[in-house]
Amino acid sequence: MKLRTIVIGILLTAPAHSFAADTAALTPAGRWTAPMIGNAPTPPMGWSSWNAFRTEVDEDKVMGAAQKLVDSGLAKLGYRYVNIDDGWWLKRRKTDGRMIIRTPIFPSAKAKGKGETSFRPFTDRLHKMGLKAGIYSDAGYNACSQAYDLHSPNLPEGDTAERQVGLHGNVDKDIALYFKEWGFDYIKVDACGLNVYGADREIVKTYNYKPFPPLIDSNYIGRTDVAEVRKIYKDIGTAIAKYNPDGDYIYSICNWGTADVRSWGNEVGNLWRTSGDITPSWTRMLHTFDSASTRALYARPGAWNDPDMLFIGHGDFDQNHLTEARSHFSLWAMINAPLIIGYDLRNAPKSLLDIWGNADLIRVNQDSGGHQAVLAYDSDDVQIFVKTLADSNTKAVAIFNRGLLKADVTLIASHLKMATGQEIRLKNLWSGEQSDFKDEKTFSVAPRETLVFEVTGTRELEGGTYLSEIPGRIHVAEDGVVNPTPDPVVHQMIGQWSGTRNAGERPAYTGWGGAQADVSPYREGLSIAGRGYVSGIGILSNSRMEVRNARQYKRFEASVGVNDSGVNNGQTVRFAVYGDGRKLAETTDLAYGAAAQALSADISGVEVVELVASGPDGQPVTWGEAKLVN
């Protein structure tokens, strides 16, 4: 294999290449362009009314949960957002469009004297308890309950205009009311208003809703107006920022993985749902988990994949299914999912409180590095996830048995990217038990069990880090995906709403072909001209990644080329490394089958390293063993 290191001197005289791909998106920014929105340096934690009560929410239930958060010590562990979901509203006032609260269920909102309603007394109470308050709205005219919870006693009332409780057309007014006047700290913005209120819908005719030409088709991305959906969410985000000058807010985007939100959610909000709703069913939990678990490179401090709220305490995750409940919690913790409890906490048994209150797992989830766990081993039965903690000598590993048979799972040092022949220490984060091993250790994992360990040992790469170990320091500015395509690796379960009364539901969460840690964009091995790489970044050509070096490491190194899973079409890809906007190293043009070229660049003092691969559309390329070293 011929390796070539290209230094700046050569680059300056190298002929400019002329790929059509040399577009604005590939132009080095010279800085970290991912915005830091609101206040979510770690995944949000708290409680929400939805999974516990659906629309049958009321003040006693919410305050009861809040009190329990404080009394049980969960608040101290980080659960501080107390979020009201759908069901709080009565109507939009005719005269001035002000939103009116349903005071029979929120009595404290009956402001004295003026016949006005206000959530200020409610948020004041939460704030006095050391908690934060969250509210719910929709990006369209109407909300989800107005289409799906028609039996609810808490549906908005009045004529067509009065029942338009969503933000559309009232963004500035509503956001000012919710944040500035009422003092909320968190908003979840749903998207039913953007997809189920087309003029031809029965629901619109029967209930006389104002039609909204659907912008989202949950099944077909081609029928979704991605740019417009993004703009609507972006405009709402701009208003939220405007009415929160101190930046202390959280913006939760809830459009269920549609509209290619995977590629823009992290530039618009703090969390974005990656799938349809979770239900308290094991297979549905797998479904929402899978929609987020292979997207580590799209999340980072301030911006989190959201596989939906916890359903611990219900159905397959109730007190009689503590193995499943612990797995659900472990998995959410590992992939940096928001930890939002969805249970009537007033009656919570100790067995469940102990799960939400697992301080070790919360520490893993809330680790300041913000590195979402990466799959180190993947099969339909067993998955091994590894998460690098901010203290880079420490990791967390989860060994997850998805199936119904006991599994013997061998963990090897290289799953952990730890050195062979050296002692690796484990602490079981459910039992507290300590153990150690060298090279490999086999665990017996019960059906549906997840073992989670904190791991300390000697890193494979002492004094450096593979990029695939630090997804929280990577911003995929352009991933090269031209046609957003549904991700086929998401577990498909029996239809949650319809059972088997159709041919099966086909999740349309686009994201297939996105950037991946340690595998190709299509989850094949990383391999260049027959040489495999255990570590690296797989991405499509026409991509640009920003890596936060923060002047920490001195060199960037990688072996790069077209991945063997690509197409042998003779077209070439060129790889370049930039440091704070300056080109530091570049390959020659590399075709499919060409041996990997070594790229090495001096990045001393560099804040942001940028990795650009330009070439034909859609060719999988590999940044093999891409690393930052001293």
Q: Which amino acids are annotated catalytic?
A: 190, 277
**CA torsion 13→605→36→76, rounded to 10°?**
150
User: Closest distance between ligand GLA and the C-beta of residue 56, in Å?
Assistant: 12
- Per-residue binding string, ligand GLA, 249-268, x by CB under 6 A, is -----x-x------------
The residue among 198, 221, 293, 299 whose CA lies nearest residue 253 is 299
Residue 340 vs 474, nearer CB to ligand GLA:
340
First-last CA distance in the chain:
25
One residue of 32, 47, 50, 272 binding ligand GLA per CB under 6 A: 50
Q: From residue 484, give the alpha-carbon distance in Å to each of 261, 365, 617, 622.
A: 10, 29, 13, 20
Sign of CA dihedral 217, 221, 225, 229: positive
User: Closest distance between ligand GLA and the C-beta of residue 586, in Å?
Assistant: 45
Residue 154 vs 388, nearer CB to ligand GLA:
154
One residue of 190, 318, 460, 557 binding ligand GLA per CB under 6 A: 190
User: Closest distance between ligand GLA and the C-beta of residue 490, in Å?
Assistant: 16
For residues 329 and 358, the answer to whether their CB atoms sit within 8 Å is yes
One residue of 62, 83, 84, 85 binding ligand GLA per CB under 6 A: 85
User: Closest distance between ligand GLA and the C-beta of residue 240, in Å?
Assistant: 18
Tokens of 366: 């809330």
| Position with the least CB separation from ligand GLA | 144
Tokens of 330: 């472990």
Residue 277 vs 460, nearer CB to ligand GLA:
277
User: Closest distance between ligand GLA and the C-beta of residue 86, in Å?
Assistant: 4
User: Closest distance between ligand GLA and the C-beta of residue 211, in Å?
Assistant: 20
Residue 144 vs 226, nearer CB to ligand GLA:
144
One residue of 58, 59, 86, 318 binding ligand GLA per CB under 6 A: 86
Helix (H, G, I), strand (E, B) or coil at 414: helix
- Per-residue binding string, ligand GLA, 132-151, x by CB under 6 A, is ------------xx------
The contacts of residue 351 (CB under 8 Å, 6+ apart) are 319, 322
Residue 149 vs 381, nearer CB to ligand GLA:
149
The residue among 361, 293, 291 whose CA lies nearest residue 326 is 361
- Per-residue binding string, ligand GLA, 550-589, x by CB under 6 A, is ----------------------------------------
Residue 145 vs 372, nearer CB to ligand GLA:
145
Site residues for ligand GLA, window 484-543 (CB under 6 A)?
Answer: none
Tokens of 226: 């991605």
Residue 163 vs 387, nearer CB to ligand GLA:
163
Tokens of 613: 């691969």
For residues 212 and 168, the answer to whether their CB atoms sit within 8 Å is yes
User: Closest distance between ligand GLA and the C-beta of residue 277, in Å?
Assistant: 5
Residue 203 vs 382, nearer CB to ligand GLA:
203
Using rule CB under 6 A, residue 229 touches ligand GLA:
no
User: Closest distance between ligand GLA and the C-beta of residue 48, in Å?
Assistant: 8
How open is the CA angle 365-260-538, to the nearest 5 degrees?
65
For residues 508 and 515, the answer to whether their CB atoms sit within 8 Å is no
DSSP conformation letters of 110-154: B-TTTS-B-SHHHHHHHHHTT-EEEEEEESSSS-SHHHH-TT-TT
One residue of 59, 174, 277, 306 binding ligand GLA per CB under 6 A: 277
Strands 339-341 and 45-48: parallel
Give per-residue burial for 447-475: e unless 16+ CB within 10 Å, then b.
Answer: ebbbbbbbbbbebbbeebbbbbbbbbbbb
Sign of CA dihedral 314, 316, 320, 323: negative
**CA torsion 566→557→612→587, rounded to 10°?**
-70
User: Closest distance between ligand GLA and the C-beta of residue 83, in Å?
Assistant: 10
Q: At what angle do helices 282-293 and 322-334 cross, to 10 degrees?
A: 10
Tokens of 304: 């989190």
Q: From residue 277, give the alpha-carbon distance in Å to each of 306, 343, 388, 390.
A: 11, 16, 29, 31
Strands 271-273 and 543-548: unpaired
For residues 208 and 103, the answer to whether their CB atoms sit within 8 Å is no
Residue 144 vs 384, nearer CB to ligand GLA:
144
Please report, as ranges, the residues that interact with ligand GLA according to CB under 6 A.
50, 85-86, 144-145, 190, 254, 256, 277
